[in-house]
Structure 1
Amino acid sequence: MTGQLSFPRQHARTQRFTLGAPRAFVVAPDDSRVVFLRSRSGTDRANLLWVHDLTERREYPAADPAALLGGADEELSAEERARRERSREGSGGVIGYATDLTVELAAFALSGRLFASELRAGVTRELRVPGPVIDPRPSPDGRRIAYVAQGALRVTELHGGEGGGDRALAEPEGETVTYGLAEFIAAEEMDRSRGFWWSPESDALLVARVDDAPVRRWWIADPAHPDREPAEVAYPAAGTDNAEVRLVLLGLDGSRTEIEWDRRRYPYLARVHWSAYGPPLLLVQARDQRSQVYLAVDTATGRTRTVHVDEDAVWLDLFPGVPGWTPDGRLVRIADEGGARVLMVGDRKLTSGALHVRAVLDIGEEDVLFSASPGADAELPEQPGEIGVFRAWYRGSGDQGGWEAVDKRSGPAVRSAVRGGEVIVLACAEPDRPGAAVEVFGLTGDGSADRLAEIASYAERPVITARPRLVHAGERHIPCTVLLPAGHTADDGPLPVLMDPYGGPHGQRVLASHNAHLTSQWFADQGFAVIVADGRGTPGRSPAWEKAIRDDLAAVSLQDQVDALTALAERYPLDLSRVAIRGWSYGGLLAGLAVLRRPDVFHAGIVGAPVTDQRLYDTHYTERYLGHPDEQPEVYAANSLITDEGLYGAAEPHRPMMIIHGLADDNVVAAHTLRLSSALLAAGRPHEVLPLSGVTHMTPQEQVAENLLLLQVDFLRRSLGMS
């Protein structure tokens, strides 16, 4: 039956071919087992918790949602739905879990209820506690589980130990206060989804106290259901107040200590790290994101001391996996120094401009495991889009430690890894192979790795094959992917062009991976030459490349799309008299900019969930790139679609636009599209609007996702005069 499906239906049904693929790996420190999530098939949305026993060479489920819920459907609280929207999580079942230090115990929430799994035995039981439960996490010693319920941080005993039963360590003082949850900005923009952290001794927790009373309220209604009350959303738009975030140390003995730092100067709590290798470590950031401080916490007094300060004239990025301590107490961080993004341990730089460091994956006794792309000082790779996994030694001699790739196999690929003890789980996606292969390796003393096992993926095989051509374009060597229709030959003549970018920060599209290009390939198979271009502002190249969009993201991003198109027209069969562009979110902004500002180049645009008025987007993201709107109103106007002079000028011709927006979107709210449509109407510009009732920024609904692709092709054919 699967082979009879159209690609749009299969793409929607499999959630972009993510269902059935293993993910969320945790490796036991004794190298005995790997824990992970995976659904039973490529169309099953319910993830099970699995254990791969490396000693006995067997794999078994530790928790099956269908059995635990007795076949009943999941019931999600509003808070849990919001958490999933922030993380773009569209699956169900066990969508996240946490373990104790030895990876003997796992805890997770299912339908708002708390469950604990004994991983060796593969047995799961429910713990009767107040709910709905959010983000349960076992203590390192495995004796207790902390979780959030109705804004309170609670702890329950697993075996009726001291203190007994279940109790609240902190309860909200008002309706706007929560303990243990990440605020909107942290979850949406800082990649911090957590709000509490256990002490290594399992006797206390650091807990975020969030009060969103200062945050401006928005109301999101569903016009298709006027009988329903609008949803109230605390949304910190650019230039407005953020939530007030504090940090408290709560002891299991009932003690409470406020953690002190200059919250007025550094209001953003970006990272918290607490391990046995040092005191609690905080990374706090100024609102303009040009300075940030690493702070060590004195748990006896709550006072903090400065460990390190970062400053940057443009902005400072936040990175996964840092900061942290090495076992000998040195600070691990990622820094922009000398035009490169490098790995630092203490005062020692472990990498050079040959690598562009992206994330720290694990900190070992002698080395750091990290991911990186070729850096600005490296020889330009023949094909862009590669991400590798490396080890760097910080106990080596000399001013700079050495590093090496974990996977010695050649060829472009996108690799990621998780390590525990001497075992690494390595996922590898390649351009000419669907999905990702997941292998388990044991590290040896000489730095080599022995293959121990492979973890199977149940993801469906796509009914089409992507044929990405990964190239550089133009004088700036813009990373691009070019996709042509299946079976196209030079004798077929030039093709109408579809630019298919994201084109903005934190959104790399040009990747050495097959599945990353499936949707673009499907559009190509409808008769287009599809181009995906990662211009300045996109990640993976150099700090200067990413920061080139400061105060001018609209003009810079758009120019790189034009330059990539022009350069590639010299090498591929592109009909420059028929060029369209489509995009979602930042890509939607880019598509709108293209047809409004450069109608001489672009002849039609599909504008999906666009950020049209920068003042309506959130503080941490928007102010990083455009500053504060009260200080730079002209910058906000120059980067907005609805104030674009092209809307009201006499520039011709007016190009057709299809604007798409989910009315339940609480990230890029529908007001962006409604204001754009009003401005277009006032300027006499033709356009059509496709409102999606009940749809958020993710568009996870199967029928919606499928038909969106079909409607876009129909619009493109009409707009470009294709038969």
Structure 2
Amino acid sequence: MTRQVSFPRQYARTQRFSLGAPRAFTVSPDGTRVVFLRSRSGTDRTGVLWVLDPASGREFPAADPAVLLSGAAEELSAEERARRERLREGSAGVVAYAVDSAAELAAFALSGRLFVAELRGGTARELAVPGPVADPRPSPDGRRVAYVAGGALRVADVEPAAGAAAGETADRALAEPDGPSVTWGLAEFIAAEEMHRHRGFWWAPDGESLLAARVDEAPVRRWWIADPANPDRQPAEVAYPAAGTPNAEVTLALLGLDGSRTDVRWDRGRYPYLAQAHWSAGGPPLLLVQSRDQRHQAYLSVDPETGATSVLHEEDDAKWLELFPGVPARTPDGRLVRIADEDGARVLVVGDRKLTDGRLHVRAVLDVGDGDVLVSASAGPDAEAPETGEAHVYRVGEQGAERVSQGRGWHSAVRSGAVCVLVSAVPERAGSTARVLRDGAEAAVVASYAEAPVLTSRARLTEAGARRIPCAVVLPTHYQEGDGPLPVLMDPYGGPHGPRVVAGHNAHLTSQWFADQGFAVVVADGRGTPHRSPAWEKAVHHDFAGATLDDQVEALQALAGEFPLDLGRVGIRGWSYGGYLAALAVLRRPDVFHAGVAGAPVTDWRLYDTHYTERYLGHPDDHPKVYDRNSLVTAEGLAEAADQVRPLMIVHGLADDNVVAAHTLRLSSALLAAGRPHEVLPLSGVTHMTPQEQVAENLLLLQVAFLKRSLGME
């Protein structure tokens, strides 16, 4: 008899049930191919590049790492490991790819080598070029591939020249570093980590030139990430732009395949941040640039001949300007597509026309077509009815918005022409379903090999308190009315860009497992979390410690009147911002929270990066008291409720280069100096992610043991 695997082991082994699930879709313009990544099982980490023919439903692998590497283990460069950390990518094999304009050729890096795959026939081969290779991208016509190696931006021909020796590839550098701290064609740390710009070059539509970023990290202060478990190893040097310190210098140049170079010029003194770039057949290159305080930004059009820029639109905000996926972009006839906060709502603007209003809260642009724009949106502040935890896909045109996704859930999409891949997660079914639609009718379903969880989540989505805080409440599977109140576990992220109250089954699996250990689990998305309204998100301006913690308390107390919550036994757990919130809760409100688990917490915001921290708290030189008030390690941060001490376990990966271990060490020192008992669990070799199977499994087990012990449940 086969013994059923435990949820913690399954959760770790399947990388949160992501393995085996199709992702990273691309649709060919002619609608005959859907390209995607998927591993061969729910426990296989190796991504394979697949192609689906929507007409026949036939799938075939276009690139299989096991074949291309002849069974050899994958070898990753330090640069590739860092890139995957920024992407939170824990799988292996083909983890990213790029295609030409017809989606006939794909390029990808594998073990630091450059490969291309013919997507019509499913054959892949290596191009012999200098490595290790990063971020390869085909030209629009598919004749060449640009990539980065050794900090240089290089271009290789896909087909060998006439008379070339077998395996010989024509390859040349378009731009090479002119100093040890310079790279071409790569996104700097701050762009990849906080601006969601993971690339540093863009092909011209005609394939004859590229727009490329030059990054000089010389001004950035150096930190060193050591491995205390292996003292014989040299610490890794990291260029980390902490709040209030210099950023990398980022400039742009237009690089012609003929060897020409034209520098792009804009007011970098006023707008030092290159937030995004876009170059399509709709017109010349677009740039979105921001001021350091992110209260001012400009959309610029670049003259490809001279490198001069002209302002298409400027924006200002008293608090900050948010960045959104998919914008800026151009329509085929050249109009600017952007998302803006106007009149209390987040709206889609095309050219000079606002196409949505407060009934929708636009989250991202998914595709720009000839006559419409495909967007992701949730219910806005003027919606007739709330849609707690839902995200839908809409087709927006001059005549208004039409919903593409149907039914309660969390939906996203990729589209080209008449074919759309609609990916839907719903509360009633594990995982997600990827449906291929042609002109709105289902043509095929992309198979998922993800494992079915060994438990079923039964989250109830609701709103709590006067602020109508979105919440999910999860009770034990076999709980029955009359069983009495339960110890409570608050399970938030609670911060910007991290919604946890999601109308999808898998989103609440871990909360369900904790509930089945005897807790009533509450997830609350208070002020500062996304997808409700600009005012909701910006309520945390200069006030992380107040708004986010207050809303956790309000949600808890409001839900106690409807659910069996024992307010005398309340624990809280979280990771990253959630870890900050968990530690904040037991230190500032021990009257409400009786135990906490803080994973990788930001404890001193002066140690976190510029673009994120200064957006919300301002520059530390200008607002030192704001930083003190929101810190966990200053005297002011520890002063409140000093007479009550609650159990706190702090967990941190020692190899974390995002929230460095110094955060936890400084908090531990401050707690020790204040006479506050606490526990610290250091994780050797672990980064901000925890993809290691044993680490991920045991972290869940250790947390529940600590919480049960601390809340008197044993």
Asked if Structure 1 and Structure 2 have the same fold, meaning a TM-score greater than 0.5 normalized by the shorter chain, the answer is yes
Q: State the one-letter code of the partner of 1:463.
A: V
Partner of 2:527: 536
Q: State the one-letter code of the partner of 1:215.
A: V
Secondary structure of the 2:177 match is coil
Q: Is the 8 A contact 1:105 1:117 kept in 2?
A: yes
Residues 108-150 of structure 1: per-residue CA shift (max 9 Å, x gap): 0000000000011100000100000000000000000000001
Supply the distance in 2 between the matched residues of 1:362 and 1:660 (Cα, whole angstroms): 40
Q: Is the 8 A contact 2:54 2:436 kept in 1?
A: no
Supply the distance in 2 between the matched residues of 1:298 and 1:33 (Cα, whole angstroms): 35
Q: Percent identity?
A: 72
Q: Is the 8 A contact 2:631 2:637 kept in 1?
A: no
Partner of 1:349: 354
Report how many residues are paired. Answer: 709
Supply the distance in 2 between the matched residues of 1:177 and 1:716 (Cα, whole angstroms): 48
Structure 1 segment 118-267 matched on structure 2, within 5 A: 118-160=118-160, 165-267=170-272
Instruction: From the superposition, tell whether residues 424 and 644 of structure 1 become closer, same or farther in structure 2 (CA, over 3 Å).
Output: farther
Supply the distance in 2 between the matched residues of 1:683 and 1:699 (Cα, whole angstroms): 31
Q: What displacement does 1:379 show? A: 2.4
Partner of 2:547: 556
Secondary structure of the 2:81 match is helix
Q: State the one-letter code of the partner of 2:57.
A: R
Q: Is the 8 A contact 2:493 2:577 kept in 1?
A: yes
Partner of 2:505: 514
Residues 3-43 of structure 1: per-residue CA shift (max 9 Å, x gap): 61100000000000000000000000001110000000000
Instruction: From the superposition, tell whether residues 538 and 3 of structure 1 become closer, same or farther in structure 2 (CA, over 3 Å).
Output: farther
Partner of 1:603: 594
Secondary structure of the 1:546 match is helix
Q: State the one-letter code of the partner of 2:195.
A: M
Secondary structure of the 2:424 match is strand
Structure 1 segment 579-658 matched on structure 2, within 5 A: 579-645=570-636, 647-648=638-639, 651-658=642-649
Supply the distance in 2 between the matched residues of 1:16 and 1:701 (Cα, whole angstroms): 12
Q: Is the 8 A contact 1:648 1:683 kept in 2?
A: no
Partner of 2:343: 338
Partner of 2:367: 362
Q: Is the 8 A contact 1:354 1:374 kept in 2?
A: yes
| Structure 1 stretch displaced more, 51-60 or 546-555 | 51-60
Q: 1:569 aligns with which of 548, 560, 563?
A: 560
Partner of 1:87: 87
Q: State the one-letter code of the partner of 2:68.
A: L
Does 2:384 align with 1:384? no
Supply the distance in 2 between the matched residues of 1:151 and 1:198 (Cα, whole angstroms): 18
Q: State the one-letter code of the partner of 1:422.
A: A
Supply the distance in 2 between the matched residues of 1:220 and 1:650 (Cα, whole angstroms): 34
Q: State the one-letter code of the partner of 2:15.
A: Q
Supply the distance in 1 between the matched residues of 2:636 and 2:515 (Cα, whole angstroms): 33
Q: What displacement does 1:259 show? A: 0.2
Secondary structure of the 1:555 match is helix
Residues 396-416 of structure 1: per-residue CA shift (max 9 Å, x gap): 3xxxx3111012x33x20000
Q: Is the 8 A contact 2:372 2:395 kept in 1?
A: yes
Q: Is the 8 A contact 1:608 1:660 kept in 2?
A: yes
Secondary structure of the 2:30 match is coil
Secondary structure of the 1:96 match is coil
TM-score when normalising by structure 2: 0.98
Q: What displacement does 1:327 show? A: 1.0
Partner of 1:311: 316
Q: State the one-letter code of the partner of 2:103.
A: V
Supply the distance in 2 between the matched residues of 1:89 and 1:414 (Cα, whole angstroms): 21
Supply the distance in 2 between the matched residues of 1:649 and 1:171 (Cα, whole angstroms): 54
Supply the distance in 2 between the matched residues of 1:344 and 1:646 (Cα, whole angstroms): 42
Q: Is the 8 A contact 1:34 1:51 kept in 2?
A: yes
Q: Is the 8 A contact 1:435 1:459 kept in 2?
A: yes
Q: 1:489 aligns with which of 480, 492, 514?
A: 480
Partner of 2:298: 293
Q: State the one-letter code of the partner of 1:265.
A: R
Q: Is the 8 A contact 1:3 1:463 kept in 2?
A: no
Q: Is the 8 A contact 1:340 1:376 kept in 2?
A: yes
Q: What displacement does 1:643 show? A: 1.1
Q: State the one-letter code of the partner of 2:34.
A: V
Q: Is the 8 A contact 2:140 2:203 kept in 1?
A: yes
Secondary structure of the 2:367 match is strand
Secondary structure of the 1:518 match is helix
Q: What displacement does 1:380 show? A: 3.5
Partner of 1:44: 44
Secondary structure of the 2:301 match is strand
Secondary structure of the 2:280 match is coil
Partner of 1:720: 711
Supply the distance in 2 between the matched residues of 1:128 and 1:646 (Cα, whole angstroms): 56
Does 2:678 align with 1:687? yes
Supply the distance in 1 between the matched residues of 2:226 and 2:698 (Cα, whole angstroms): 24
Q: State the one-letter code of the partner of 1:591.
A: A
Q: What displacement does 1:646 show? A: 6.0
Partner of 1:98: 98
Supply the distance in 1 between the matched residues of 2:636 and 2:339 (Cα, whole angstroms): 41
Secondary structure of the 2:540 match is coil
Secondary structure of the 2:214 match is strand
Q: Is the 8 A contact 2:94 2:110 kept in 1?
A: yes
Q: State the one-letter code of the partner of 2:147.
A: Y
Q: Is the 8 A contact 1:219 1:231 kept in 2?
A: yes
Partner of 2:420: 424
Secondary structure of the 1:708 match is helix
Q: What displacement does 1:650 show? A: 6.6
Supply the distance in 2 between the matched residues of 1:352 and 1:574 (Cα, whole angstroms): 39
Q: What displacement does 1:648 show? A: 4.9
Q: Is the 8 A contact 2:298 2:311 kept in 1?
A: yes
Q: Is the 8 A contact 1:599 1:652 kept in 2?
A: no
List runs of 5+ in structure 2 lacking aligned partners: none
Secondary structure of the 1:594 match is helix
Secondary structure of the 1:713 match is helix
Q: Is the 8 A contact 1:33 1:55 kept in 2?
A: no
**Which structure 1 residue ranges, 4+ long, deviate > 6 Å from structure 2?**
none
Secondary structure of the 1:279 match is strand
Q: Is the 8 A contact 2:628 2:637 kept in 1?
A: no
Supply the distance in 2 between the matched residues of 1:501 and 1:67 (Cα, whole angstroms): 43
Supply the distance in 2 between the matched residues of 1:259 and 1:159 (Cα, whole angstroms): 31
Partner of 1:446: none
Supply the distance in 1 between the matched residues of 2:200 and 2:308 (Cα, whole angstroms): 20
Supply the distance in 2 between the matched residues of 1:2 and 1:392 (Cα, whole angstroms): 52
Q: What displacement does 1:649 show? A: 6.2
Partner of 1:414: 410
Partner of 1:23: 23
Partner of 1:402: 400
Q: What displacement does 1:488 show? A: 0.3
Supply the distance in 1 between the matched residues of 2:225 and 2:663 (Cα, whole angstroms): 13
Q: Is the 8 A contact 2:46 2:94 kept in 1?
A: yes
Q: What displacement does 1:214 show? A: 0.1
Q: State the one-letter code of the partner of 1:486.
A: T
Q: Is the 8 A contact 2:245 2:610 kept in 1?
A: yes
**Aligned-CA RMSD value:** 1.2
List runs of 5+ in structure 1 lacking aligned partners: 444-448
Q: Is the 8 A contact 1:441 1:451 kept in 2?
A: yes
Q: Is the 8 A contact 1:361 1:371 kept in 2?
A: yes
Supply the distance in 1 between the matched residues of 2:689 and 2:327 (Cα, whole angstroms): 28
Secondary structure of the 1:321 match is coil
Supply the distance in 2 between the matched residues of 1:269 and 1:84 (Cα, whole angstroms): 21
